Amino acid sequence: MNKRQYPPGIEEDKQEWLEAIENIYGAYGSSGVNHILETLSSWRSQNQIKASSVSVNTAYLNTIPLTEQPAYPGDLELEQRVENILRWNAMAMVLQGQDSGAGVGGHIATYASAATMMEVGFNHFFRKRSENYGGDLVILQPHAAPGVYARSWIEGELNDERMQNYRRELHADGGLASYPHPRSMPNFWQVANASMGLSTPTAIYQARFAKYLENRGLKPKLGGKVWCFIGDGETDEPEVLGTINIASRENLDNLIFVVNCNLQRLDGPVRGNGKIIQELEASFTGSGWNVIKVIWGGGWDKLLAQDRNGSLRRRMEECVDGDYQRYSVLPGDRQREHWVDGNPELEHMMESLTDEEVKQIKRGGQDAKKIFAAFHRAINGDGKPTVILVKTVKGDGMIGAQGSNSVHQKKNFDANQRMAIARNLGIPLDDEAIKKAQYFKPSETSPEIQYLKARRQELGGPLPERLSECEKIAPPPLASFDSLTKSDGNRSQSTTMSLVRILSILLRDKSLNKYIVPIVPDEARTFGLEALFKIAGIFSLQGQRYTPVDADTLVAYREAEDGQILQEGICETGALASFLAAGTAYSIHGLPMIPFYFFYSIFGFQRVGDMIWTCGDMMCRGFLIGGTAGRTTLNGEGIQHQDGHSQLIANTFPNLKSYDPAFAYELVVIVREGIRRMYELQENIFYYITAYNENYEMPSMPEKKDVQDGILAGAYHYQSTKSEKSSQVHLLGSGSIMQQVLAAKEKLEVMGLEVSVWSVTSYNELCREAEECDRYNRLHPFDTEWVPYLRDLFAKTKGVYVAASDYMKALPNSIAPWMPKSFLILGTDGYGLSESRPDLREYFEISADYICHAALVGLFRNEELSAAELKKKLKTLDVDPDKVNPMNR
């Protein structure tokens, strides 16, 4: 029904309803109004009356009206003075870098827009972990880092030398990292942040993991919030709006987001033609969050109180962000003109203000009282996560640059501008010092420093601070894994299943079990992990409010409030964020959690590689398990599933140990060593292990000495026809392709050749060690040479060497410089395709026959085989020399 069709009487009815709701408001306030409106809304939905238009937006006003604004508990004047000093020093860090000619860059505008809200947080909200409090995890915008350093410096937490060396991390006196990088500053930053968008899933899953630890009895329920500050431009990253629904689904009332809506990103406006705050309000409200808008500073309250007919409110709605950005650069008279826009009522209202006063009317993010009101409401949340949308000014106070489209990149000011900015901030330095952008630090006894320290003391002490002490834990003894290291000779199994069995043993280990965190993104059945559902339970904050269809089976889908498994659904980003939360729990909660994240190996590094990079930065510990590995071993699934390159990408992560094992006992050795190094020695490394789904006989661990060391170093001698010394052919195999190598060995032996097989568990480790030796030898030409492990390994051998891998040739090729001369490499370069395993192995030229072929050609080249013999032997092999190259298909 449109408006024209309404019967005339409806206007009177409407008037009555409006009076009634006003009475409700008078008697019960906004909660009473909400109660009535929610009741009406549910009446409408029960009667199946479709809403004519759906808007989840509220007016473009502050969510908290003046009447509900709490009194400000701090000394506003002192806080402003401290903030001004921080603004100057943060800017000076960048200017000094500029003056030194070091060309190291830096940002001023982000902090300038965020300073007031960060100060309200530091002075009144961000609380440290203590005996009585679980602790807040505070994640600030990366480009606001100078403001954080400036604060820690005047607090005495960072020394003068480091402050002189912002972005000079190699400086002998110590420097400061550009952005929050725990790896660079391990006692300071807790959470890595620099790649836009990633802090959102990081914060969400940290909040969820804190609840996991509480529910599993590992962390006392003493409260603690995760505060995450992000930029408005940053919300365009899919990781932001793509993960917020998880926070509300999980009722994460320990999570507070603050979006710095300065309306600008790097190049210009975020939404010039719209309003980012309204857009985000709709998205977050629709995702079930509490939304608090902080748009207008206190100066507007008086004007809004006069706005009887709603002209001002209408104008506020009409203006788009492009207009608001313009106001931040216009003088008072031009702003007035634009605001009034020919409306006499508005003109009259604005007459009460001088041009200077018009210019001085602040946005919500410049008003500590408004920010305090929002933060205060947020920490007293009601079972939901909260987002606070704060309108700020980009480059606030950067005279001549504030609000300009290029302000994000503004790194320098001339002497006059420096003077104007410093004097405006009330910095009591002399002119020369200001022109040189020197820092200003009030004396220790000054009211500013006393106040700031007292506030932090009240909140538990200085922040940020990263601690990394936690209990040391050792791996279970090797004997616990006898079922995997000792074969009865008749049980065929895949390496994936072997890993699942290792996990089960760890879950039964009395000292370790509570720390193990199995993580899966809706792939547990693919990896044979479903048996763990019933035993360990799937973590769910809601418990299980239904009877699962398979309740009476051994593999029931059991969800529980204290479940141990993190089942993330089809969300690799979330699963990786959980891995990050669990693997950094030692530094955030002091708990040595051991995550095992099982995923499709192709959906790891190339899907969420940036987050794995963050793991490296945060010195996250744990095991990444790339299941269904190998371009030909995972056969029918085709191009997008079959991974033949993740091991190569893994090698680009400096502190990641990557292994591609063939046998169950190798896995045991690698996992035990991983636990020893990460959790007993507490080294800052993490592990990537590829696991295959091909079943074959898992042999016993050879009794020979050095096998365990060889597995960890990356290669060892596995078996020979007679001995490695007398072998003419040496075959290097890894992962599932070891089975092809063993079949090739048999064929070559039938041809009368002597063969050795070497199990290569990690080309990456071999290459890294050899590179390290080369580097040492290059830098120390007069010292005794370091001999790479590889050279030692093959020192007493001769003949032809053939490596076959289910990964690209580049992987085995990485060790070529240290291998004996006749080294031939077979690998899976090219896109995967859906086929049977034997056909794929033939197609990619890594089948037993192709391995034999390469070995024979090698012998021929070395003149150990005549042309006639070669021709004769090749006839027995299924090799097509003119087949298509998989790289060209």
Ligand X SMILES: Cc1ncc(C[n+]2csc(CCOP(=O)(O)OP(=O)(O)O)c2C)c(N)n1
Residues that bind ligand X (CB under 6 A): 110, 113, 141, 143, 194-197, 231-234, 260, 262, 264-266, 270, 394, 408
Q: Which is nearer to Mg ion, 142 or 735 (CB)?
A: 142
Cross-strand bridge partners of residue 594: 516
- Shortest Cβ 262–Mg ion spacing (Å): 4
Q: Which is nearer to ligand X, 229 or 718 (CB)?
A: 229
Residues shown for the chain: 889
Contact (CB, 8 A) for 235 and 241: yes
User: Rounded CA gap, 558 and 53, in Å?
Assistant: 41
Q: Name the binder of 143 from ligand X, Mg ion, none, CB < 5-8 A by kind.
A: ligand X
- Shortest Cβ 234–ligand X spacing (Å): 3
- Reduced to 3 states (helix: H, G, I; strand: E, B; else coil), residue 298 is coil
- Shortest Cβ 297–ligand X spacing (Å): 18
Q: Name the binder of 141 from ligand X, Mg ion, none, CB < 5-8 A by kind.
A: ligand X
- Shortest Cβ 142–ligand X spacing (Å): 7
User: Rounded CA gap, 521 and 523, in Å?
Assistant: 5
Contact (CB, 8 A) for 214 and 220: yes
- Shortest Cβ 802–ligand X spacing (Å): 42
Contact (CB, 8 A) for 879 and 849: yes
Q: Which is nearer to Mg ion, 325 or 814 (CB)?
A: 325
- Shortest Cβ 261–Mg ion spacing (Å): 7
Q: Which is nearer to Mg ion, 163 or 198 (CB)?
A: 198
- Shortest Cβ 363–ligand X spacing (Å): 14
User: Rounded CA gap, 755 and 722, in Å?
Assistant: 8
Q: Which is nearer to ligand X, 393 or 851 (CB)?
A: 393
628: left (phi over 0), alpha (psi -120 to 50) or beta: left
User: Rounded CA gap, 603 and 808, in Å?
Assistant: 17
Q: Name the binder of 202 from ligand X, Mg ion, none, CB < 5-8 A by kind.
A: none
Q: Where are the alpha helices (DSSP H) in 76-228?
A: 76-99, 109-124, 145-154, 160-164, 199-215
Q: Which is nearer to ligand X, 408 or 677 (CB)?
A: 408
Q: Which is nearer to ligand X, 145 or 358 (CB)?
A: 145
Q: Which is nearer to Mg ion, 267 or 706 (CB)?
A: 267
According to the 3-state scheme, what is the secondary structure of 637-655?
CCCCCCCCCHHHHHCCCCC
Contact (CB, 8 A) for 620 and 686: yes
Nearest-CB residue for ligand X: 231
Tokens of 633: 């071993």
Q: Name the binder of 391 from ligand X, Mg ion, none, CB < 5-8 A by kind.
A: none
Q: Name the binder of 666 from ligand X, Mg ion, none, CB < 5-8 A by kind.
A: none
- Shortest Cβ 573–Mg ion spacing (Å): 23
Tokens of 181: 């990088």
Q: Name the binder of 113 from ligand X, Mg ion, none, CB < 5-8 A by kind.
A: ligand X
Q: Name the binder of 234 from ligand X, Mg ion, none, CB < 5-8 A by kind.
A: ligand X
User: Rounded CA gap, 536 and 546, in Å?
Assistant: 18
Instruction: Give the Cα-Cα-Cα angle 886, 887, 888 (nearest 5 degrees).
Output: 90
- Shortest Cβ 181–ligand X spacing (Å): 13
φ, ψ for residue 19 (rounded to 5)?
Answer: -65, -40
Q: Name the binder of 285 from Mg ion, ligand X, none, CB < 5-8 A by kind.
A: none
Cross-strand bridge partners of residue 559: 538
Q: Name the binder of 121 from Mg ion, ligand X, none, CB < 5-8 A by kind.
A: none
Q: Name the binder of 266 from Mg ion, ligand X, none, CB < 5-8 A by kind.
A: ligand X
Residues that bind Mg ion (CB under 5 A): 231-233, 262, 264
- Shortest Cβ 264–ligand X spacing (Å): 5
Q: Which is nearer to ligand X, 233 or 297 (CB)?
A: 233
Q: Which is nearer to ligand X, 120 or 532 (CB)?
A: 120
User: Rounded CA gap, 245 and 423, in Å?
Assistant: 46
Q: Which is nearer to Mg ion, 179 or 515 (CB)?
A: 179
Identify the CA nearest to 731 among candidates 840, 790, 804, 835: 804
User: Rounded CA gap, 206 and 587, in Å?
Assistant: 12
- Reduced to 3 states (helix: H, G, I; strand: E, B; else coil), residue 671 is helix
User: Rounded CA gap, 582 and 685, in Å?
Assistant: 14
Q: Which is nearer to Mg ion, 269 or 595 (CB)?
A: 269
φ, ψ for residue 686 (rounded to 5)?
Answer: -145, 170
- Shortest Cβ 269–Mg ion spacing (Å): 9
Tokens of 191: 């959470």
Q: Name the binder of 528 from Mg ion, ligand X, none, CB < 5-8 A by kind.
A: none
Q: Which is nearer to ligand X, 363 or 589 (CB)?
A: 363
User: Rounded CA gap, 588 and 465, in Å?
Assistant: 10
Place of tokens 């993330």: 568
- Reduced to 3 states (helix: H, G, I; strand: E, B; else coil), residue 883 is coil
- Shortest Cβ 139–ligand X spacing (Å): 14
**Cα 171 vs. chain centroid, distance in angstroms?**
28
Identify the CA nearest to 403 among candidates 107, 147, 112: 112
- Shortest Cβ 870–ligand X spacing (Å): 54
Q: Which is nearer to ligand X, 130 or 652 (CB)?
A: 652
Q: How many helices (H) and strands (E) in the chain?
A: 35, 20
- Shortest Cβ 279–ligand X spacing (Å): 13
Instruction: Give the Cα-Cα-Cα angle 81, 89, 158 (nearest 5 degrees).
Output: 105
Q: Name the binder of 404 from Mg ion, ligand X, none, CB < 5-8 A by kind.
A: none
Buried b (16+ CB within 10 A) or exposed e, 459-481: bbebbbebebebeebebbeeebb
Identify the CA nearest to 493 among candidates 282, 744, 274, 662: 662
Q: Which is nearer to Mg ion, 157 or 281 (CB)?
A: 281
Q: Which is nearer to Mg ion, 232 or 279 (CB)?
A: 232
Q: Which is nearer to ligand X, 336 or 410 (CB)?
A: 410
- Reduced to 3 states (helix: H, G, I; strand: E, B; else coil), residue 714 is coil
Cis (ω within 30 of 0) for the bond into 464? yes
Q: Name the binder of 693 from Mg ion, ligand X, none, CB < 5-8 A by kind.
A: none
- Shortest Cβ 197–ligand X spacing (Å): 6
Maximum CA extent, the chain: 107
User: Rounded CA gap, 794 and 818, in Å?
Assistant: 10
Q: Name the binder of 765 from Mg ion, ligand X, none, CB < 5-8 A by kind.
A: none
- Shortest Cβ 148–ligand X spacing (Å): 14
- Shortest Cβ 392–ligand X spacing (Å): 8
Contact (CB, 8 A) for 154 and 452: yes
**Cα 846 vs. chain centroid, distance in angstroms?**
37
Q: Name the binder of 788 from Mg ion, ligand X, none, CB < 5-8 A by kind.
A: none
